[in-house]
Amino acid sequence: MSGAVPIDAPVRGRLDAEGRLVEADPRLARLHRQAGGAKDGPLAVPQIAELARLASRLGLLVSRQVLAAEGDTDLELTVQAEPDGDDVRLSLSGWREKQPYTPRDEPEAGRPDAYHRAGGDWFWETDRSLRLVSISADARETIGDIGRFVGQPLTSLFRFGDGERDELPILRALAEHERFERQPAALREAPGGLYELSGLPLIDGRGDFAGFRGSVRIVEGAQAAPDDGELSPETIPDALGTQLDRALRAPIDRIVASAESIRAEEDGPLRDDYAEYASDIAQAGRHLLALIGDLSDLQAVEREDFEPRREAIDLAEIARQAAGLLSVRADDKHIRVDAPPEDESLAAIGDYQRVLQILVNLIGNAVRYAPEDSQVWIRSEAEGDLAAVIVADQGRGIAKEDQPRIFEKFERLGASEPGSGLGLYISRRLARAMGGDIDVDSAPGQGARFVLTLPTGEG
């Protein structure tokens, strides 16, 4: 628990224009030294240095509470940073020592692991609607960016298979609100591996089911997350899109999640217009996320040495998955998506994730531009040494003279059209990088048919 170590007077300091600690009361100087700072060197306490930079940039006095480390304890400080010419004056107060934070869901040293940790490679937790509320950091090696799954259904991450008695253990556990073990599963985005899920039911104060907390064990053939090392800042001097993606995605995810919880009135009833504002915020946030994703993809596909993976894939199955991902959006507009039947398969050579990305883009566009109560068809067929997926809609169609334009960067058919104008450009570049292409067949008033072709690998 916290120990109050009050200090009577504020502790002062001064940073020069380069962020160097040029003046410091003894206690601040000690904090700087303990953080690894050198005499007259840049302030080594990053939270305070950041605040000083903010104050300098804004030209305003900024005051914040920060948590800094001092030896083995944490220190709660109130920091005031005030620009003074090119320098920044610091005034620190509070100085409350706190025991270092130990996250509640980490096992304490010496305490036996909980049952569901015993054989787990990584861990997950859902709410009562089976939407993921957290995934442990270890999962990154397998699924890459964890943040995009938080808030999504567990089934967006896994496809479940029958257990030992030809039933889904997780389904039975959900019905009975009891624990489950050895639920076979495959990752939707990397179907090559086999996993087993186990889970414990979470029970709230009313005795109601509140979700599951569980573990994932890799059984066999698990693939590592797509290696984006080629895009890491260490190997590429200016991977701006990737850095922007990493820096912006998490905070925008939180904005969208918070706005959605406000819109859903999870904390209590709201005036209708407030709920609408929250919905607008969430929508704007999702648009930003899509734009960030597009910019990151744009940088990747435009690199000269960009080379997607070449692996055996089932185009029909990927088409069904893409249709599934867009089913909610289609349902909102009462659009029926006619995907390839379950027993249909179409072999091709390509990068599974990138092909899924392309088809999500094509089907998403079809759903967006199709009128309500209409239909979108997805067909797969082989044409010689090419495998093709056709996505057809009943939208307003595209004039011949506009058809080349829609594949250009930042082109939209109208200023009011949604999106960044990058989707088809990126999709076509991806398709071509895999030895295929995307073409369109359309006319005004006659809907549009987009055709993705990829090599079958035969001939």
Partner 1 sequence: MSERGQNDANPGGQRDEALRAAAVRLSRRQGERAAAALRELTDPYPLRLSDRQRLAIERISHRLIEEIEDELRGAILADDALPPNDSLEASLGAGHVAIAAPILEQAGLLPDARIVALALERSDMHEAGRRLREGGSPGQRLSGLVGEGSDPQSSAAMALLIAESRANLRFEDPRLPLGDVPADIRESLIWQVAAALRHYAVERHDAPANEIDRSVSGAADRLCADMREESGLLEAAAALAASLDAGDAELLREALEAGRIALYCGLLGSAAEIDIANVWALAGDPDGLGHALLLRAAGIDRDAGASLVMALLGALGDDPAHPGGAPEWLGVWDSLDAAGAGQMLDHWRRAPAYRDALTAIGRGGAS
Distance of CA 203 to the CA centre of its chain: 28
Is residue 93 a contact point for partner 1 (CB under 8 A)?
yes
Is residue 202 a contact point for partner 1 (CB under 8 A)?
yes
Is residue 91 a contact point for partner 1 (CB under 8 A)?
yes
- The one-letter amino acid code at 5 reads V
Is residue 58 a contact point for partner 1 (CB under 8 A)?
no
Q: How far is the CB of 104 from partner 1 (least distance, A)?
A: 5
Q: How far is the CB of 98 from partner 1 (least distance, A)?
A: 10
Is residue 238 a contact point for partner 1 (CB under 8 A)?
no
Is residue 26 a contact point for partner 1 (CB under 8 A)?
no
CA count, 13 A, side-chain hemisphere, 144: 14
Is residue 72 a contact point for partner 1 (CB under 8 A)?
no
Query: Which of positions 291-320 make contact with partner 1 (CB under 8 A)?
Result: none
Site track for partner 1 across 168-197, x = CB under 8 A = -----------x------------------
By beta-carbon proximity to partner 1, the closer residue of 69 and 281 is 281
Is residue 459 a contact point for partner 1 (CB under 8 A)?
no
- Alpha-carbon torsion 77, 69, 250, 158, what sign? negative
For partner 1, the binding residue among 68, 144, 184, 213 (CB under 8 A) is: 213
By beta-carbon proximity to partner 1, the closer residue of 177 and 309 is 177
Distance of CA 335 to the CA centre of its chain: 27
Is residue 272 a contact point for partner 1 (CB under 8 A)?
no
**Segments in 396-441 forming alpha helices (H):** 423-433
Is residue 152 a contact point for partner 1 (CB under 8 A)?
no
Is residue 255 a contact point for partner 1 (CB under 8 A)?
no
Is residue 205 a contact point for partner 1 (CB under 8 A)?
yes
Q: Dump strand ranges (E) for 25-61.
A: none
| Among the listed residues 250, 243, 261, the one whose alpha carbon sits nearest the alpha carbon of residue 288 | 250
Is residue 59 a contact point for partner 1 (CB under 8 A)?
no
| Among the listed residues 262, 281, 287, the one whose alpha carbon sits nearest the alpha carbon of residue 272 | 262
For partner 1, the binding residue among 237, 268, 414, 445 (CB under 8 A) is: 268
Burial 71-91 (b: 16+ CB within 10 A, else e): eeebbebebbbbbeeebbbbb
Is residue 50 a contact point for partner 1 (CB under 8 A)?
no
Is residue 410 a contact point for partner 1 (CB under 8 A)?
no
DSSP strand pairing (311-314 vs 347-350): antiparallel
Is residue 63 a contact point for partner 1 (CB under 8 A)?
yes
Q: DSSP label at 166?
A: S
- Alpha-carbon torsion 358, 138, 191, 454, what sign? positive
For partner 1, the binding residue among 210, 248, 281, 413 (CB under 8 A) is: 210
| Among the listed residues 132, 108, 303, the one whose alpha carbon sits nearest the alpha carbon of residue 211 | 132
Token pair, residue 327, equals: 């089913």
Q: How far is the CB of 154 from partner 1 (least distance, A)?
A: 14
Query: Do residues 382 and 456 lie in contact, with contact meaning Cβ atoms separated by under 8 Å?
Result: yes
- The one-letter amino acid code at 415 reads A
What's phi and psi for 442, nearest 5 deg?
Answer: -165, 165
For partner 1, the binding residue among 34, 47, 80, 279 (CB under 8 A) is: 80
Token pair, residue 166, equals: 């030809």
Per CB under 8 A, residues contacting partner 1 are: 1-2, 4, 8-10, 63-65, 78, 80, 91, 93-94, 102, 104-105, 108, 110-112, 114-116, 125, 127, 133, 179, 200-207, 210-211, 213, 267-268, 270-271, 274
